[in-house]
Amino acid sequence: MSFASLGLKEPILRGVRAAGYETPTEIQAHAIPKILAGAELIGLGQTGSGKTAAFGLPMLDKLCGGPPGLRGLIVVPTRELCVQVAENLRTYASHAGLSVCTAFGGVDMSIQESAFKRGIDVVVACPGRLIDHLERRNLTLEKVQMVVLDEADRMLDMGFMPQIRRIFLRLPQERQNLLFSATMPKEVESLVEDFLPGAERVQIGSRSQSAKTIEHRFAAVAVADKQYALERLLQREPGRVLIFVNKKLGCERLGNALKRAGFPADAIHGDKSAEARYACLQAFARGKVRYLVATDVAARGIDVDDIELVVNYDFPLGLEDYIHRAGRTGRAGRSGRALSFVAPSERRLHEVVAAHLQGREVPAAPKLPGRGYGMPKRREGGKPSRGRSRTAHAAH
């Protein structure tokens, strides 16, 4: 299987070579011909499977050679993802004469506005900033032919659903829609019903593959002992480790504590400036920072394939967050490990995850405001494992 056999035009194939890709990944081989033929798709599953090229290449292919103007829209939840998706698309478009712009908050609108004026074929945008530009008439969506909604469940978690609906309402009737989501909470289903009713669902990043390559472990650790346990663990970890915490303040504190203890560590969270977050991601990608403490939202932007270990310092508040976090390791077919500290107050959250990993029905989740688990809420079968349970084979 080659990229050429998928039906892509020569300028796009040159972009693929510029990216250094030789053979298409599973999702690319499956999705590219369908998207080129005009199909609407819903891609379900984790990132790390090459989905950016799966939607980016056919989008650019369709726009290549057409009249200039904003014809491709990609909506993403975070600035980091915005920058990364745009960087990838610029590489793919490097021989196609198409220009890819970004629109995300935290930077001066006029910089983005002048980029649009220089020429724009595709915009990769975060919902809030996109709406700001639309309202100021810096952009119009009237010529958009193809729209991609990336990480739809994450947009929901971040409260972007009303903005997404407003954006969809401004799009022309005649267009091709693509949506990607790791899970399908009911609000995402209802968005699909309203805006992509006929779309075909495809599994991306083969669930069984991620199940086989990630080893999930849990350790009972009291809250007061967590930092010590983490430091002991990091002393034995030569590779890259991504450490998740639930709150920005805790993230900053833990990053500082690790730095003070002499670890090559840093923290990334939403209270840092866009520039500081970018510098931090670069340092992590280059290996200058090996231990990165992150919140869920900030971690969405990390595009590093060789994360050897994911540590849940704070237990994630929902099953979807657990799946997203663990999915940061074991990418691109490598093996990976996820280790979660479980304090006594986090046992019920752990039970939900353990049941899911063991393929049992997921018990009713502890009540947390605004969280959709997207899983059956009946409980059956034996006691969930706790403490030092080890699930080497995780079926999900």
Q: Which residues bind ligand AMP (CB under 6 A)?
A: 21, 24-25, 28, 47-53, 303, 305, 332
Nearest approach in angstroms of CB 52 to ligand AMP is 3
> Nearest approach, Cβ of 55 to ligand AMP (angstroms)?
9
- Helix and strand numbers (H, E) in the chain are 16, 14
Between 47 and 145, whose beta carbon lies closer to ligand AMP? Answer: 47
**Least Å from the CB of residue 85 to ligand AMP:** 8
Strand order across the beta sheet in which 41-44 lies: 100-103, 122-125, 72-75, 146-149, 176-181, 41-44, 200-203
Q: CB of 89: closest distance to ligand AMP in angstroms? A: 11
Q: For strand 200-203 and strand 41-44, is the pairing parallel, antiparallel, or unpaired?
A: parallel
Rounded CA gap, 163 and 155, in Å? 10
CB of 23 to ligand AMP, least distance (A): 6
Alpha-carbon distance of 322 to 329, in angstroms, equals: 12
Q: Which is nearer to ligand AMP, 150 or 314 (CB)?
A: 150
Residue placing its CB nearer to ligand AMP in the complex, 116 or 278: 278
Report residue 213 as tokens. 């390559």
CA atoms within 13 A on the CB side of 207: 14
Say if residues 342 and 226 touch (Cβ distance below 8 Å): no
DSSP 177-215: EEEEESS--HHHHHHHHHH-TTPEEEE-S-HHHHHHHEE
Q: Which is nearer to ligand AMP, 76 or 167 (CB)?
A: 76
- Closest separation in Å from C-beta 379 to ligand AMP: 34
* 89: three-class secondary structure by DSSP: helix
- Which residue lies nearer to ligand AMP by CB, 199 or 304? 304
Q: Identify which of residues 40 and 303 has a Cβ nearer to ligand AMP in the complex.
A: 303
